[in-house]
Structure 1
Amino acid sequence: MPLPDTMYCSQQIHVPPELPDVLKQFTRAAIKTQPKDILVWSAAYFAALTKGEALPVKDRLELNVATQKTDTGLTQGLLKTLHRQLGSSETCSMKDLQDKWRGLCLPLEQLQSLLALGNFSSDIVWMEFFALCCCSLGATLMSSLKTACEILTEDEEGGPARIPFSVFVQLYVYLSRLDEDLTKEQIDNFLKSLQPEV
């Protein structure tokens, strides 16, 4: 039996009172994040909202400094968002990482490249993957570590960007082992030179 044709007027449609606030927050989030695919990002946004998870939203609008030829897709703001979404535990599943990566509209080729570089399998050690992402944003080991400190710090923006020394050591050792030019002795000497400052 077909449904009757019903005409609705504005008085017949109930709009929940919280809907305008939800739409305002969504609009602000979309403007700050500037997703490449608004539909994919919107699905990830509302899925995270309904599950009570961290939203795929950057803290602020980032100006694109990369050209189209060198645009990696991943930015410091997007990596901070990924860390907020996945960094609460030591490991994350491949599926969760892929879902969050897609939700931020990042290129899958870049994800596959990072996963291959780190030889990751089904469970991913988050801080190692995070370190590789920082490495893809920085030209040198030190600039990669600086990026990591800026993302991980709880200090106010523009401050010293301090992180726990144990986290710094974990990131430094992991990234320096990927650099074939650095010897274990050089790595140890560098960490010993930092001890007095800690």
Structure 2
Amino acid sequence: MPPPETMYCSQQINIPPELPDILKQFTKAAIRTQPPDVLQWAATYFSALSQGEPLPGKDRLEMPAATQKTDTGLTPGLLKVLHKQLSAKDTVMKEELLNKWKGLCLPVEQLNTLLDLGNFDAQLDWMQFFALSCSSLGGTIISALKHACEILTEDPEGGAARIPFSTFVTLYTYLTQLDGDIPQDEIDSFLLSLQEHVATQNDMIQVANFYGHKK
């Protein structure tokens, strides 16, 4: 015979005071991120929360939503999450990147393609992988760098999207070396022309400085 149901009253139920806010923040992050596998993403979210790590949530909902119904690949918002999670170290273990990648419910096939393109070993340079990932978001090197500026900038959304010129040079140099079709004298000339624009701007570069160039 089953035991009788236990009756509780509101005075007997102890609700941790922080629980409502935790659930509220989790719900807001899930809505912004729109993970295709909510359970897998939730496990990643609460694991990061318990360990004090950057959370796997986008800053805002990415549009257009219509394409996201079928597109489950890397987006600028998800790449920004990965950057927050992994950029504290100059080099990242491939296994750690794989875990973060899976935590965002991204297709492993896409990761493997990027790793093959960059010829990365078990330990990889994060900014090189970041640059290569930006190139997967934009069809040209300049489009990739535009994404990089918008992801890396500390300017408010919709602002100038400035980043240090030294960071830009690192990303641009890696992508042009990977491309292999741009002559070195053309690379040097392009960087020199940009340096003239940023010399009076505290060595910061913004999208408007180079977006008209076609590389």
Q: TM-score of the superposition, structure 1-length normalised?
A: 0.91
Secondary structure of the structure 2 residue equivalent to 1:124:
strand
SS of aligned partner of 2:124: strand
3-state SS of paired residue (1:36):
coil
Q: What are the Cα deviations for residues 124-170 of structure 1, in whole angstroms up to 9, with x where unaligned?
A: 11000000110000011101000000000111111111100110000
Q: How is 1:73-92 mapped onto 2 (pairs within 5 angstroms)?
A: 73-92=73-92
- Determine the C-alpha separation between the residues in 2 that align with 1:119 and 1:51: 32
Tell me if the contact between 1:72 and 1:110 (Cα under 8 Å) persists in the aligned partners.
no
Q: Which residue of 1 aligns with 2:137?
A: 137
Could you list the per-position Cα deviations for residues 79-127 of structure 1 after superposition, in whole angstroms to 9, with x for gaps in the alignment?
1111111112211111211111111110100000001111111111100
Name the CA distance, whole Å, in 1 between partners of 2:178 and 2:135. 10
Contact 2:176 / 2:182 at 8 angstroms: preserved in 1?
yes
Q: In structure 1, what residue type is equivalent to 2:6?
A: M
Whether the 8 Å CA contact 2:36–2:72 is kept in 1: the answer is: no
Please, what is the CA RMSD of the aligned residues?
1.8
Equivalent residue, structure 2, for 1:35: 35
Q: 1:66: how far off? A: 3.6
Pairwise CA distance, 1:67: 7.2
Report the AA paired with residue 160 of structure 1.
A
Flag the 1:127–1:65 CA change in 2: closer, same or farther, 3 A.
Answer: farther
Which whole-Å CA distance do the structure 1 matches of 2:60 and 2:39 have between them?
A: 20
* Residue pair 1:76, 1:151 contacting (<8 A) in 2 also: yes
* Contact persistence 2:86–2:92 (CA under 8 A): yes
Change (3 A) 1:8 1:101: farther
Residue range with higher mean Cα deviation, 86-95 or 58-67: 58-67
Partner of 1:52: 52
Alpha-carbon distance between aligned partners in 2 of 1:153 and 1:8, rounded to the nearest angstrom:
55
Percentage identity across paired residues of the two chains = 60
User: What SS class does the counterpart of residue 196 from structure 2 fall into?
Assistant: coil
1:31 is displaced (CA, Å) by: 0.5
- The answer to whether the 8 Å contact 2:94/2:121 transfers is yes
From the superposition, tell whether residues 18 and 106 of structure 1 become closer, same or farther in structure 2 (CA, over 3 Å): same
AA matched with 1:144: A
Report if aligned partners of 1:131, 1:148 keep a CA contact under 8 Å in 2: yes
CA distance in 2, matches of 1:67, 1:22: 26
Q: Give secondary structure in 1 for the equivalent of 2:157.
A: coil
For 2:57 and 2:114, how far apart are their aligned partners in 1? Answer: 22
Shift of 1:68: 6.8
8-17 or 149-158, which moves further after superposition? 8-17
Match of residue 119 from structure 1: 119
5+ unaligned residues in a row in structure 2: which ranges? 199-215
Matches of 1:67 and 1:162, distance apart in 2: 28
Q: Report deviation, 1:12.
A: 3.8
